[in-house]
Amino acid sequence: MSELKKIKSALISVYHKDGLDEIIAKLDNIGVKFYSTGGTKDFIEGLNVAVTAVEELTSYPSILGGRVKTLHPKVFGGILARRENEGDISQLAQYEIPEIDLVIVDLYPFEATVASGASDAEIIEKIDIGGISLIRGAAKNFNDVVIISNQGQYASFYDLLESGNGLTTLEDRRRYAVEAFATSSHYDSAIYNYFAGEWPAHFRQSFNSAKHLRYGENPHQQGVFFGNFDAMFDQLGGKEISYNNLLDIDAAVNLIDEFTDTTFAILKHNNACGCASRDTVLDSYLAALAGDPVSAYGGIFVTNRTIDKATAEEAGKIFFEVIIAPDYHTDALEVLRSKKNLIILIRKNVDLPAVQYRSVLNGTIMQNRDLKRETDQDLQPVTKISPDSKIINDLLFANRLVKQSKSNTIVLAKGKQLLASGVGQTSRVDALRQAIEKAKSFGFDLNGAVMASDAFFPFPDCVEIAFNEGIRSVIQPGGSIRDKLSIEFCDSHEMSMVITGFRHFKH
């Protein structure tokens, strides 16, 4: 079997024609015979290049409103015939079927049509039949046929034509075949998910873009990000994004989205080590940093406001890996870019997916993203003393933090500032003690602070410990059969407690 193959004939039928003219001209220069349909045929003729209509080849017109154009043995026979198989070549001659060495085809824009809000009937008409069949047929016969399955391949294919003058290697053809099967499988997944709805019976998710990472969670592991990072962020500087960077960035974005006030957060290993809401970005940063200036080293910085020069200068006094903001003042960027390898990200106005997936055991689990953000209307006072408006604001602030921290979690806050948190503990008591010890180590006065828990208190021990440290108000989901014990302790010690009814576990 000869590995090098010369392109002598091409079937071209595309929806997107931008960039196609240079390829047509190059193929014409090396003597390629063209077959085409409809608008693509008109486009080729407009370039003063000879082209044979598929209808002339098949002796059948385009029928059913264009639904059937290329689905014919004289088309697919020429694509699927094995050039080294005498029987296949004999049948081509018997039925006067020309060999087709190159197929350039793209698909109707199904996903774009769905995204546009089009009607069900319009969407169904954008389910490509002939195109997907041509892609699969040409890809199956990659030993002999080149398949160009999307517009994004035009540039690389033109370069291949330039360098090889119409000759392709088996490696070239196989590479394009792999991309073709990726195109067809992604297309079918999109169609399935449209019909299956929000909770499908089968797992079919597909991403067309892959970002190879420096390594995985550890240097001896490989890592790839499947998704469109550039759709969410503009990276203005710094080194390549790592696997661990992505996990931290995801945690940072989820956390900052909990707040509408001017807020700055500092994260380490997916958990907030500092967070504060203030009138200015600078004041928010300084208060967030005060929460744990030790853990902030090497952390992820995120805010929901534009970074100014003063904030950039203060932040620049310590080492951190990533900073995320909706925008930056020009002079702030100059300061930040002076820090070698700092990853500077502008967050675009793109919503996170409503559904989350996670690999477990030999499968995948799926759930709705936790979009519940409690307001004062969700709080149910259950003690004799009710918190005032200032305390309610602190309770809500702490509750947003506890929601985005690893369970078991306790958050201590005061004046819309994270004082300390205990995260990822096997015991809620241990989480509270960790938070208390940490807050005290940085000189915080816990008198008047609030405590938030991501799940209910099965015993009143945490409430009692908190009281002994000067904490007088608690927010928790409730739901324990022993809630009454914690409430009774609060009532007997003049503490307030509110219940949200919403648990926020995070593993």
Contacts of 164 (CB under 8 A, 6+ apart): 172
Query: Following DSSP, what letter does each residue of 73-97 receive, concatenated?
Result: HHHHHHHH--TT-HHHHHHHHHTT-
Dihedrals phi, psi of 412, to nearest 5 degrees: -110, 130
Q: Is 269 a catalytic residue?
A: yes
Query: Which residue of the set 6, 8, 26, 140 is catalytic?
Result: 140
Q: Which two tokens stand for residue 64?
A: 């059913």
Task: Compute the C-alpha angle 191/196/201, nearest 5°.
Answer: 120
Q: Are 37 and 70 in contact (CB under 8 A)?
A: yes
Residue 311 CA to residue 226 CA, distance in Å, equals 33
Give Cα 85 distance to the centre of its chain.
46
Q: Is 446 helix (H, G, I), strand (E, B) or coil?
A: coil
Contacts of 135 (CB under 8 A, 6+ apart): 103, 105, 107, 147, 149, 180, 183, 184
Q: Are 313 and 291 in contact (CB under 8 A)?
A: no
Q: Which two tokens stand for residue 185?
A: 């499988």
Helix, strand, coil abundance in the chain, percent, nearest 5: 40, 20, 40
Query: Which residue of the set 8, 72, 269, 329 is catalytic?
Result: 269
Give Cα 377 distance to the centre of its chain.
32
Residue 486 CA to residue 10 CA, distance in Å, equals 77
The answer to whether the Cα torsion of 230, 235, 241, 246 is positive or negative is: negative
Q: Which two tokens stand for residue 287?
A: 């208060």
Q: Is 329 a catalytic residue?
A: no
Three-state secondary structure along 328-392? ECHHHHHHHHCCCCCEEEEECCCCCCCEEEEEECCEEEEEECCCCCCCHHHCEECCCCCCCHHHH
Residue 139: burial class (beta carbons within 10 Å; 0-12, 13-18, 19+) = buried
Contacts of 133 (CB under 8 A, 6+ apart): 70, 71, 76
Q: Which residues are catalytic?
A: 140, 269
